[in-house]
Structure 1
Amino acid sequence: MEEKNKVDLEASLKSEKSKNSLIVHLLIATFGISAWIGINSIFVELPLLVNSLPEKWNLPMYLVIMIQVANIGPMAYILARKFNFNFPESYLIFALLLLGASMMSLLAFFYKKTLFFRGKEYSAVLFAATFFTALVNCSSSLLFMPYLRHFRESYLASYYVGEGLSGIIPSAIALIQGTGSQCDSEKIERFSPQYYFISIFIILLFSLIAFLLLDNLELVASEKVSENTENVARKDENLNHKFESTLRIYFYILLGLMCLLANGFLPGIQSFSSLPYGNITYHLTATLSLLANPIGCFLAVFFPPKSWKIINWLSTVTFLNCSHVIYLAFVSPRPPLQYSVVGKVFVILSWILLIGLISYVKLALASIFRHEAHSGNLFRIGIVMQIGSAFGAVLSLILSSFTKLLESYDSCSEDTFPS
């Protein structure tokens, strides 16, 4: 009888632990959604925002500038850590999540508000909201991931699932929303940007609640570990995580380049490369390419590369594909196959493949560093990612504002249509 009670007790404890683990996985995934959903949601909505805001198709470039100016926040945090200023980590993350949700609420009701400066009209509220949203998202690399050192390594996958959903969710909402006509007042979207941003605000509230539960819920405490409890270093037959210093530097550079493209340079040229193929093509490019981000993350988590040679090969394909979309941006407003279905499909697929590959390589590289040693690597790779993103934005700004290599496409002009 005692033996049976003991077995029943063990089964009950195992079931309870499994239930707690599932709850923590869900909470961490929901928390992870907040990592980049703010900036992703703004860029996904651009095909509609440009129709009603004064910057028109130069708007992506302005927003990229705001995003990179927001790097002052992470850089200030890095300097503060260097000089041993200690901040209460949980309070800081809570404040950032609250700020992110507040910015979405602000956008929902005031995204059309503009100000005049030196005779020109600017979308001041959108710029300010983008800056503070980027402050949250850019800081996620330095705060959100390191916070997960308190949990078992198995929960990192859930965080990346949530981070991937930060691309899927706004894209799915935008696809349901539909698009609008670019040249006249006719609108075919199902609901306005106001309701779009309200929906993102609600999702961010769920992320905020999830973090509060992670930080305070009693059942979560049993799933936490001390930094020294779990040795995250792994050994692989083909890819030893304790790699040589030369290879480590190479991987850091490669990670920085991937972030330069994904977070800084490519968002600034996307409209130049895809808009000449039509407003709907640009809309699909902006939304579907973000869907490729979580797919790349899923593949990197469940099918990690077994050799650095695979990373090299995937990086080569990425750079070749990137060269193609850059070429399309440089030959705007008259790219090849502009008015054919083949051209439209090809540019959409090119962007989907490009963003998917970059997402896979970024996560694969970050995972290698994370498994190599202690949790401090999570902070260092965050610094590398932010530096790469900043350089990409500066490059995009120089090409857009100080050269004639990028020429905007006006689909409402009669001479842009074939005779």
Structure 2
Amino acid sequence: MGFVVHLLVCLLGTGSWVAINGMWVELPLMVPSAPEGWLLPSYLTVIIQLANVGPLAFTLAHRFLPGRVSEVGVIYAILGLGCLACLLLAFFWRSTSLVGGIPRSTALLALLFFLALVDCTSSVTFLPYMRRLRLDYLTTYFVGEGLSGLLPGLVALGQGVGTLHCNGTGNGTGRPQEDRQEPRFSVQTFFFLLTIMMGISLASFVFLNYLPAAKKERAKEKYHARVQMEKMVGTQVTVEERPMIGGTPGRSFGSGTYSGPQLAFIFVLLAWVNALTNGVLPAVQSYSCLPYGNAAYHLSATLAALANPLACFLGMFLPHR
């Protein structure tokens, strides 16, 4: 039954970022139909940053209302919201309304915000929930999180992208005729598939809470945690008794102890890399691909979604500190 729990944890992990990753790979097919056009990726980048209000609210609730907010209830809420938003996108992603006299994709942008809210909040709720299970399942969860980018990317590769072909000249006008080749299935079908992926993640979370095999794993983790705590109390090891690296006072971080400037450098570097990966590069990707057309944009967005899980997979085997 351990395999079943591993499978459920993996499927739960796929629901973490599958919605937004799916949006990135589908943008090339949505750009020609949206009033925002090639600005749509920039809008999505801003919306994702605004959706960080979800993790902020969850963190503040834990800080000022301890014990009153359970990550289980929040996970049920965000996964249900993700399913509903994906389903509504299938029907309303083309809908527009006038804002300031200019047509805007108001339904699309609003639903994108809810999807981003779901995925951003999953980062601060799924991992605390994983503490209820044995540590072995954490690796399985991260595998599922990697699949949240891989699965939509593979679906998008199978979908293809609509292209225009010159069909010579016709009707004696001397003008070339355009022959549009449609993708293998529509954007609406893609959103239906995204809804199914979110629904599977929600169903796996329900089974993790009520399946007897999963309950046994939670009981084992509680037992091991109690034994570990008894060992720590018995040896009376405190943080103050641990030797400092190099004898220099500082703060513990990871497996070492660093000074204030070193910690500042580490976090500034992390902020810079994340700003590029999640903010700057996705926003300018459409402009960098614009001279090459939709096919190049579609492939670059899809392969970018595939690159992240591949890098995480290689990181499991390559040497690291």
Q: Same fold, TM exceeding 0.5?
A: yes
Aligned partner of residue 98 in structure 2, secondary structure? strand
Please tell me the residue identity of whatever aligns with 2:272.
L
- Contact kept, 8 Å, 2:25 with 2:156, in 1: the verdict is yes
Q: Looking at both structures, which has the greater relative contact order when contacts are Cα pairs under 8 Å and sequence separation is at least 6?
A: 2
CA-atom RMSD, angstroms? 2.1
Letter in 2 for 1:65: V
Q: Aligned partners of 1:180, 1:80: CA distance in 2, in Å?
A: 46
Change (3 A) 1:135 1:185: farther
Number of aligned pairs? 280
Amino acid at match of 2:255: H
Change (3 A) 1:21 1:249: farther
| Secondary structure, counterpart of 1:126 in structure 2 | helix
Question: Contact (CA 8 Å) 2:10, 2:144: kept in 1 or not?
Answer: yes
Conserved 8 A contact 1:167-1:291: yes
State TM-score, norm by structure 2: 0.82
Residue aligning to 2:89: 107
| C-alpha distance after superposition, 1:220-240 (max 9, x if no partner) | 122221393569xxxxxxx97
Runs of at least 5 residues in structure 1 that lack an aligned partner in the other structure: 1-19, 232-238, 307-419
2:4 is aligned to: 23
- Cα distance in 2 for partners of 1:182, 1:53 equals 18
8 A contact 2:11–2:144 mirrored in 1: yes
Separation (CA, whole Å) in 2 of partners of 1:242 and 1:153: 22
Separation in 2, partners of 1:256, 1:24: 34
- Cα distance in 1 for residues equivalent to 2:208 and 2:38: 41
Which segments of 5 or more consecutive residues in structure 2 lack a partner in the other structure?
A: 166-177, 230-252
- Which residue of 70, 76, 79 maps to 2:57? 76
* Letter of the 1:133 counterpart: L
Change beyond 3 A, Cα 1:187–1:56: farther
Instruction: Look up the SS of the partner of 2:135 in the other structure.
Output: coil
Tell me: CA distance 1:212–1:248, structure 2 relative to 1, closer, same or farther (3 Å): farther
1:279 aligns with 2:294: yes
1:142: how far off? 0.8
Question: If each structure's strand is expressed as a fraction of its own residues, which one has the higher value?
Answer: 2
The one of 41, 48, 66 aligned to 1:67: 48
Between the aligned partners of 2:51 and 2:144, the Cα distance in structure 1 is 23
* Aligned residue in 2 for 1:269: 284
Aligned to 2:153: 171
Q: Determine the structure 2 residue equivalent to 1:244.
A: 258
Q: Percent identity?
A: 43
Larger Rg: 2
1:33-55 deviations in Å (ceiling 9; x for gaps): 01111111111101100111111
AA paired with 1:29? C
CA contact (8 A) 1:54 1:121 kept: yes
C-alpha distance in 1, partners of 2:21/2:163? 22
TM-score between both structures, scaled by the size of structure 1: 0.63
Q: CA deviation at 1:24?
A: 1.2
Q: Is the 8 A contact 1:50 1:57 kept in 2?
A: yes
